[in-house]
Amino acid sequence: MTRANVPFMVNAIGLSWAGPTILHLGSEAHKKQFIKNILNAEEIWCQGFSEPDHGSDLGNAQCRAERDGDHFVVNGAKIWTSLGVYAKHMILLARSIPNTSSKYAGLSFFLCPMQTPGIEVIPIKKITGEYGFNQTVFTNARIHESTLVGEEGKGWLVAMAVLAFERGAAGGQAGGNMSTVFSTQDVIEMSRLIERDGRPALEDPLVQDKLLNFLIDQRSIALTSQRARIEKLLTPERPAATMMMGKLFGSEFMRRLAYFAVELQGGRANLYMGDPEAVQGGEWQRAAMNAYSATIGGGTSEVQHNILGERVLDLPK
């Protein structure tokens, strides 16, 4: 689908995260109520995990969900809620029991209806100049206890299961409008069209040498995902490595590649989307900025380094 430039799937969060979570951990009532409308895209879903003050440190979520009879009263804010303006429901991680000994205890997981009074969705303008994310603010929003997934106070376990679904999909894809998926081949094609010093950029040996690095890295990614499926070829000391490192290397690769495409444009690199003379419509400039959604979203590259170091190499925290 990405090859054919199919746009960002509108119910990505419903299909990839909310749906599997409901199927694995939700009640029978949840399954009856939600699954069909996820599959037919009747109801769009969004995700309420990150908070303005707690991005990568998800377990530290401070958004409150205070019990009041058979309801919870939600107060606080969530950020990076893609699709928030369209969504009917949100998978929400909020703190129902304050002051627990561990920050992970006390969190609860809800399937929160977005039309609840007291929920306000504020669009966020991205570095690209476009809209795609939102901030969601909760002010005394009352949601029924039937929206709980799992036990009250055990929401972290549910969230971890969701994150496993997220890392299985391409990281940061919910980052909004990453509709352009590209490869080194596209940059090579572009460098045939770009002139540098009167010749196609592709004829410059320095350009070729840099493109070669990207071709090698691109194959590293493709071949490692092939090898990941052959159990006997996994490195015995760390069989999980091939699966777990893809997000870090892949997202950084895309960021470097998109920026290199911009660099190649030389004298035209400063023209952006909307200018009739922009190279390939300024898509590379946009892609170079959008690429950060994947190096930051779904756990920043720095956090990914920690995760790989600690969980795969068993290095001390």
Partner 1 sequence: MIKMEGAIEFTEEQGMISDSAVSFFREQYPMATVRQLLDDERGYTTDGWRSIGELGWLGMMIPEEFGGAGLSAKELVSVVEPMGRHLVGTPFIATTLAGQLLLKAGSEAQKSHLLPKLASGAAIGSVALFEPHGAWEPDQLRATAQRSGNGFVLSGSKTFVLDAAVADLLIVACQLGGAPALFCLSGPQLQGRLRRETVIDETRRSHRLQLDGLEVGSDAQLTGGDALAALKWCHALGALLHTAESAGGANSALLLTVDYLKTRKQFGQLIGSYQALKHPTVDAMIAVEHSRSHLYYAASLFNGYDGGESEVAVRMAKVHSNESFYFASDRAIQFHGGMGFTHECNAGLHFRRAQWNKFSFGDTLHHRRHLRRLLMP
User: Quick one: 127 or 223, whose CB is closer to partner 1?
Assistant: 223
Contacts with partner 1 by CB under 8 A lie at: 184-185, 188, 202, 205, 208-209, 211-212, 215-216, 219-220, 222-224, 226-227, 230, 232-233, 235-238, 241-242, 245, 248-249, 302, 305-306, 308-310, 312-317
Question: Strand (E) positions, the chain?
Answer: 45-48, 64-68, 71-79, 89-95, 107-113, 119-125, 131-144, 148-149, 195-196, 199-200
Q: Which is nearer to partner 1, 215 or 271 (CB)?
A: 215
CA distance 72 to 94: 10
Q: Least distance from C-beta 233 to partner 1, angstroms?
A: 6
Nearest distance, CB of residue 220 and partner 1, angstroms: 4
CB 83 within 8 A of CB 13: yes
Q: What's the burial of 219, exposed, middle or buried (CB within 10 Å: 0-12/13-18/19+)?
A: exposed
Polymer length of the chain: 317
Continuous segment of H or E residues that includes residue 160: helix 155-168
Shortest spacing between CB 165 and partner 1, in angstroms: 23
C-alpha closest to that of 283 among 298, 297, 271, 294: 271
Minimum gap (Å) between residue 309 Cβ and partner 1: 4
Q: Which is nearer to partner 1, 23 or 233 (CB)?
A: 233
* Amino acid letter, residue 199: R
Query: Is 15 strand, coil or helix?
Result: helix
Phi-psi region at 187: left, alpha or beta (left = phi > 0; alpha = psi -120 to 50): alpha
- Active-site entry in 166, 231, 302, 310: 166
277 has catalytic annotation = no
Least distance in Å: CB of 222 to partner 1? 6
Rounded CA-CA distance 138/27 in Å is 25
Pick 125 or 227: Cβ nearer partner 1: 227
Active site residues: 166
